[in-house]
């Protein structure tokens, strides 16, 4: 009798558990679909890839689709047009759109330093930026922050007769290799590809911006912030988790980067990620500091893209989600 009673109790318990699990599964909220447009597939954007590849968005209830726009302007246009919830690029691209009537706000920092270096062949007599006088430097076709930074450096330090040889982004070393330029201003991973081929660093822009630089941020519509605050909060929190993971586990960051850039040498990828971590290019938190924003805005005002006084930090940045993610 006791055996029959016990068996019945076990059957009822299992049935109850199974019913509860089925009920829970049926009523579990599906992940919210989110689309983010990135300007390019870039090793500088590693926090986004870590958040996707390591399931950090999923952890916060989001199903994130990454789309490569081909340019920052195209990514911002996708957000304005309702094709994307977020875009990742130079925050000034969103601000320029706002000056033309859009309503976007930057909500998370991704690239918090200037990832630009000037390289020259290892046997070149060039040693510092002053040695660029009278030389040719290959750099990306505008609009490109690397080119604008180079132009300002040349003017501010009175480096005479520097000729800019503008080429497609990612090909800056080709003119140097062909003997048509003496040096190149470029981003990672081209920097470590060059170093692996015997080039040397003549000038490092990250050291010139110790206060940080809002180089690439995530923006969204102000209406999205108002209508979907939980989604925005989950997205920014996941980005913050990814940024913390990169800092605490560089090996994990390198692993994701190798997956995202399978055609590159693993050594180049590892060195590039290591350099970007060491020189604080990857944001350590999603917050966009006023100094970092100001540094980025100053460059746009310098080149004449934005009129001084027409943009304020308070109107361009919403740090509330980043601060909430950090428990502030």
For 262-289, what is the mean pLDDT? 97
What is residue 27's predicted lDDT score, i.e. its pLDDT? 52
Sign of CA dihedral 210, 139, 110, 190: negative
Whether residue 166 has pLDDT greater than 90: yes
Query: What is the rounded distance in angstroms from the CA atom of residue 204 to the CA atom of residue 324?
Result: 34
What confidence tens digit (pLDDT) does each residue in 106-148 have?
Answer: 999 999 999 999 999 999 999 999 999 999 999 999 989 999 9
Please report which confidence band the pLDDT of residue 328 belongs to, taking 50, 70 and 90 as the band edges: confident
Domain 117-208 has CATH 3.40.190.10: yes
Cα 99 from Cα 297, distance rounded (Å): 13
Residue 25 pLDDT grade (very low, low, confident, very high; cuts 50, 70, 90): very low
More confidently predicted of 313 and 207: 313
Q: Which of 12-16, 128-132, 219-223 has the lowest mean pLDDT?
A: 12-16
Domain boundaries, the chain: 32-113+212-325, 117-208
For residues 218 and 235, give the distance between their C-alpha atoms in angstroms, rounded to a whole number. 10
Looking at per-residue confidence, does 225 or 6 come out higher?
A: 225
Token pair of 45, please?
């954007």
Residue range 154-160: average pLDDT?
96
- Summarised one tens digit per residue, pLDDT across range 232-247 is 999 999 999 999 999 9
* Confidence category of residue 13, pLDDT binned at 50, 70, 90: very low
Can 32-113+212-325 and 117-208 be said to share one CATH topology? yes
Q: Count CA atoms within 13 Å of residue 88 on its CB side.
A: 27
The number of helices, as runs of H, and strands, as runs of E, in the chain is 15, 10
Range 288-310 average pLDDT = 96
Summarize the confidence of residues 151-173 as an average pLDDT: 96
Domain at 32-113+212-325, CATH class: alpha beta
Question: Is this model's pTM higher than 0.85 or not?
Answer: yes
Distance CA 176, CA 215 (A): 26
The rounded mean pLDDT for the chain is: 92
The pLDDT of residue 8 is: 53
Please list the residues that pair with 106 across neighbouring strands. 219, 317
**Is 126 within 8 Å of 203 (Cβ atoms)?**
no
Under the banding of pLDDT at 50, 70 and 90, the label for residue 283 is: very high
């Amino acid at each position: 009798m006791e055996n029959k009673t016990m068996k019945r109790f076990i059957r009822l318990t299992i049935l109850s558990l199974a019913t509860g699990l089925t009920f829970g599964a049926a009523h579990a909220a599906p992940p919210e679909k989110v689309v983010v447009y990135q300007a390019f597939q870039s090793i500088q954007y590693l926090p986004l890839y870590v958040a996707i590849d390591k399931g950090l968005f999923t952890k916060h209830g989001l199903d994130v689709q990454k789309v490569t726009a081909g340019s920052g302007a195209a990514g911002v246009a996708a957000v304005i047009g309702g094709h994307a919830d977020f875009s990742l690029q130079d925050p000034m691209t969103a601000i320029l759109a706002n000056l033309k009537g859009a309503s976007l706000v930057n909500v998370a920092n991704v690239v918090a330093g200037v990832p630009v270096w000037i390289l020259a062949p290892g046997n070149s007599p060039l040693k510092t930026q002053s040695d660029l006088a009278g030389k040719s430097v290959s750099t990306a076709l505008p609009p490109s922050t690397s080119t604008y930074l180079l132009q300002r450096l040349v003017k501010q330090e009175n480096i005479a007769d520097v000729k800019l040889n503008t080429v497609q982004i990612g090909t800056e070393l080709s003119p140097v290799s062909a003997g048509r330029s003496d040096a190149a201003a470029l981003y990672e991973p081209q920097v470590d590809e060059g170093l692996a081929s015997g080039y040397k660093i003549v000038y490092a822009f990250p050291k010139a911006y110790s206060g940080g630089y809002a180089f690439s941020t995530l923006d969204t519509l102000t209406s999205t912030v108002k209508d979907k605050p939980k989604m925005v909060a989950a997205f920014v929190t996941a980005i913050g988790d990814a940024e913390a993971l990169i800092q605490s586990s560089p090996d994990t960051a390198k692993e994701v980067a190798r997956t995202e850039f399978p055609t590159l040498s693993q050594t180049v990828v590892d060195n590039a990620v290591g350099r970007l971590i060491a020189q604080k290019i990857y944001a350590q938190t999603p917050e966009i500091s006023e100094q970092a924003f100001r540094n980025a805005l100053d460059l746009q005002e310098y080149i004449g893209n934005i009129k001084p006084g027409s943009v304020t930090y308070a109107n361009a940045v919403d740090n509330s989600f980043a601060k909430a993610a950090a428990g502030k």
